[in-house]
Amino acid sequence: MTRDLRMLPADDPRAVFAALRDALTGDGPAVLPRQAGAVAAAATSEALSASAPPPLPVEVPRNVALVIETSGSTGVPKRVALSTDALLASAAASASALGGAGQWLLALPAHYVAGAQVLVRSIAAETEPAILPAGHFDPARFGALAATMTGEARFVSLVPAQLARLIEAGDDVPALIALLRRFDGILVGGQSLPAGLRNRATELGLRIVTTYGSSETSGGCVYDGIPIGNTRARAVDGRLELAGAVLAEGYLGDPRRTADAFHDDDGSRWYRTGDLGTVEDGRVTVTGRADNVIISGGEKVLLDAVEAAVRECDGFEEAVVVAVESAEWGQVPAVAVAVAGSARTSLDALREYVVRRLGRAAAPARIQTLDALPMLPSGKPDRVAIGRLLA
């Protein structure tokens, strides 16, 4: 059995919310939220682009309620098909881990799984989400919206850059910090949360929950290192794998990629993530992306580890590390930092610190100061764009 698939502009999150509610109850078509401007251009771009995913089908399997498109920053974009059961299992696991359901504030784009899940959790909890208008993230607007929330329990999902901006703004507007303290859970995911930022948030009395997951797992399925619901985690040859009710059906119209990413083992279905990490005593530790490793002078260097070390240095808290070509070493790490970051650590001192932590091959070759770091709509650094600027 099948159902129709409906594209909606993600910059109208209330329309996405209403359509998603109908999709979850079975009364409406499956939903594909798309970034602003992408809906009208979709058919043309997919017809002309050699790197486009398979043509968008008119219908999808009956159990699919939501389709999330990945960014395709490392290859051909993928369309992750999520079933009603997986989405609701994720919402239930989240509510259990957070101590109950509540009212959510949407501060992330609805075409990203973390944003869509805020809407799913609201539907499951039968609460009305507070929705921040799409576009540039404004701490003052966030505070004004948070002040209107009436739920007994209140939650929000953010990326680290948003949390940092809220705390920075709170230095001048203490009432904003007071509003943040009213949240029973501030979920932070999408990328690693710098230790300094988490410590600062904790000192301010904010209830921070770090999350790990992906579109393929209906969003965050590991909270503060612990799998939630019936999610299970393991590391196979250094790569993290996840199992449980939250797993996607696969990639729409792409059986080869589905078979590469999802597999059965010992009676369970597992998703092979793109992340390196460990699972010890049930706790998941992510060490970096499997595709973010370079060979420098014959040695493997994990750029995520370099970035984590660099961010521990004064003035580099939001720095981004990318690979650049080197005639001598093949590839080397390079550090990009915004002018506003006012880095206060010299290149020699930065190199010395990273070498002590990770070895000589990991030492950054240079620091590049940019007017501003290019960002994705999700609030994550646009590493592809940054790499081009440093090439």
74-96 tens-digit pLDDT: 456 799 999 999 999 999 999 99
Per domain, the residue ranges of the chain are 2-214, 292-390
CA distance 344 to 196: 16
CA distance 167 to 203: 11
Spatial contact of 316 and 364, defined as CB atoms under 8 Å apart: no
Using alpha carbons, list the distances in angstroms from residue 331 to 75, 180, 383.
20, 42, 16
Spatial contact of 219 and 90, defined as CB atoms under 8 Å apart: yes
Spatial contact of 83 and 194, defined as CB atoms under 8 Å apart: no
At the topology level of CATH, where does 292-390 sit? GMP Synthetase; Chain A, domain 3 (3.30.300)
Using alpha carbons, list the distances in angstroms from residue 112 to 33, 101, 106.
8, 21, 11
For residue range 106-142, what is the model confidence (pLDDT) as tens digits? 999 999 999 999 999 999 999 999 999 888 899 999 9
pTM: 0.85
How confident is the model at residue 333, as a pLDDT? 96
Query: Would you give per-residue pLDDT tens digits along the chain (391 residues)?
Result: 899 999 999 999 999 999 999 999 999 999 999 986 554 444 444 444 445 566 788 899 999 999 999 865 445 679 999 999 999 999 999 999 999 999 999 999 999 999 999 999 999 999 999 999 888 899 999 999 999 999 999 999 999 989 999 999 999 999 999 999 999 999 999 888 888 899 999 999 999 999 999 999 999 999 999 999 999 999 999 999 999 999 999 999 899 999 999 999 989 999 999 999 999 999 999 988 888 889 998 898 999 999 999 998 888 888 999 999 998 899 999 999 987 555 577 899 999 999 999 999 999 999 999 998 998 766 678 888 999 999 8
CA distance 51 to 273: 22
Q: What is the CATH number of domain 2-214?
A: 3.40.50.12780
